[in-house]
Amino acid sequence: MLGVVVAGGVTGYMTIEGWSAWDALYMTVTTVATVGFREVHPLSGVGQAFTLLLIVSGVGTAFYTATLLAAAVVEGGLHRRFERRRIERMLEGLRDHFILCGYGRIGSMIADELDQQKVPFVIVERSAERVQQVLQRGWLAVAADASREEVLERVGIHSARGLIAAVGTDAENVYTVLTARVVRPDLFIVARVESDDAEPKLRRAGADRVISPYHIGAAHMAQTALRPAVVDFMQLATSSGHLDLSMEQVRIQEGSGLVGQTIVDAGIRQKYGVIVVAIRRADGSMDFNPSPESVIRAGDELVVLGRPQSVKALGEGVAA
């Protein structure tokens, strides 16, 4: 509206008084801004009438514009716009990240673990209130429905490392997994399930792993009662908060220097100080406690145990 008033004032002075564009603009701005130093040139009767009209319309529009800007600043409208733009820029820069769908009790724990592991992730949550909680923690989140294709594309599903479906109900998880599988057929997907009959549905929808928190919790409690020392060791090896011991998986890429070598010939324990606990073959089979003569092939994943810096050195050596 303010732009229309200024343009109209410039056009009016140029048409009525025959002034140059600069003189007309100067007169219009000083009039609308209520500064009014002087008239650029003497005004005709029609010019004076036009100036009165410009004062009434222009000053009111200028005050209205100033009120809107002040309200936007006070109410945080500009801050929200800048925040949305910042989030969009961060979303565009995401690579090799996880998409966490849902920020309830399970989702919040998953987010804490990913954060401790220094793994990039973005949370998709319907509740705007929960999204604000996530943003206050310095994480990246989007208030949207994770079962919509455009939402998954917005959070970078084509460059994501994996997706974790942990929304409120099994039905929502099924729709989310199905949509993600259609958009990205090769994506690694983990889904949470509550009822037993929903597990086969999630697998048919495309989930690579289906996790029941209740079954996991019950099994963990039973194992703790029966084999407390074993459970303590596993927690020690897999806990992200422990700095002295780490159990990780290292993928053997095509062209790696370890391809075709046996474990003993590769000298993994001697060079890096880690123990190969198992080998997950490219066909999905698992070789537990492999013998020193086990051959390492491209596409295998070595499950190793050692100090975090040793595991990191192994990963860098494999990449080289």
Six-digit token pair at 303?
Answer: 């499950």
Alpha carbon distance 274, 305 (integer Å) = 5
Identify which of 175, 121, 112 has the alpha carbon closest to the alpha carbon of residue 146: 175
What distances in angstroms separate CA 120 from CA 13, 141, 167, 210, 211, one per listed residue? 59, 12, 19, 22, 22
> Where along the chain do its domains lie?
2-74, 94-211, 244-319
CATH 3.40.50.720 at 94-211, yes or no: yes
Q: φ and ψ at 301, to 5 degrees? A: -120, 120
CATH class of the structural domain 2-74: mainly alpha
Condensed to tens digits (0 to 9), the pLDDT of residues 187-238 reads 999 999 988 889 999 999 999 999 998 888 898 899 889 989 888 877 776 6
Condensed to tens digits (0 to 9), the pLDDT of residues 28-71 reads 888 887 776 778 888 888 888 888 888 888 888 888 888 887 77
Identify which of 8, 187, 165 has the alpha carbon closest to the alpha carbon of residue 100: 165
Q: What's the predicted TM-score (pTM) here? A: 0.65
Which residues lie below 8 Å from residue 24, measured CB to CB, with a gap of 6+?
A: 9, 10, 11, 12, 13, 14, 17
Helix axes 45-74, 77-92, angle to 10 degrees: 70
Six-digit token pair at 31?
Answer: 């009039």
Which pLDDT band, with edges at 50, 70 and 90, does 79 fall under? low
Superfamily covering domain 244-319: Regulator of K+ conductance, C-terminal domain (3.30.70.1450)
Which residues lie below 8 Å from residue 244, measured CB to CB, with a gap of 6+?
A: 307
User: 94-211: same fold as 2-74?
Assistant: no
Alpha carbon distance 194, 132 (integer Å) = 27
Q: What is the pLDDT of residue 239?
A: 64
Condensed to tens digits (0 to 9), the pLDDT of residues 165-174 reads 999 899 999 9
